[in-house]
Amino acid sequence: MEVRMELSRILIRELVDHQIIELREVTESENGSASLLDGRDEEARRFPIVIGLPEAQAIERRLKGVSIKRPQTHDLLANIISDLDGRLDAICVSDLSEHTFYAVLRVTKADGEKIEIDARPSDAIALGIAERVPIFVAEHVLEQALQDPF
């Protein structure tokens, strides 16, 4: 089973190498749109993921809609998927092993075939933010992230 999540916070501290993003659980409201647990934010499950500064800056840039002159890695990947007539459908944080999170990009190819591409969560989220695709976390990953002190 997978849980729908959203990027709820990004903490950038440029004087240190590691940055933090926080994913927070969302639920489907009765009208089918995703929403935070009906305003009961304290009940939403959440967990942090430690990422690098360049990835944090890329996510922040994409959240703010800031464009730059030349494509960065996440822009390149989005362009490749698009130019090959593919579509990024979702991202999923699929595993957690030895304090390392793993993710996949869920892509539909031009011929309709659905594939999963291995990715770091930070790269997947940076790409997914711009494309406005849903973020999922495997239930076992969420349970383990909530138990493990990082």
pLDDT in tens, the chain (150 residues): 999 999 999 999 888 888 999 999 996 653 455 554 444 556 789 999 999 988 999 999 989 989 889 988 888 999 999 999 999 999 999 999 998 999 999 999 999 999 999 999 999 999 998 889 999 999 999 999 998 655
Q: What pLDDT does 39 receive?
A: 47
What angle (nearest 5°) sits at the alpha carbon of residue 132, between those of residues 130 and 85?
A: 80
Domains in the chain, ordered, with CATH?
2-147 (3.10.690.10)
Q: What pLDDT does 116 receive?
A: 97
Q: What pLDDT does 65 receive?
A: 87
pTM for the structure as a whole: 0.85
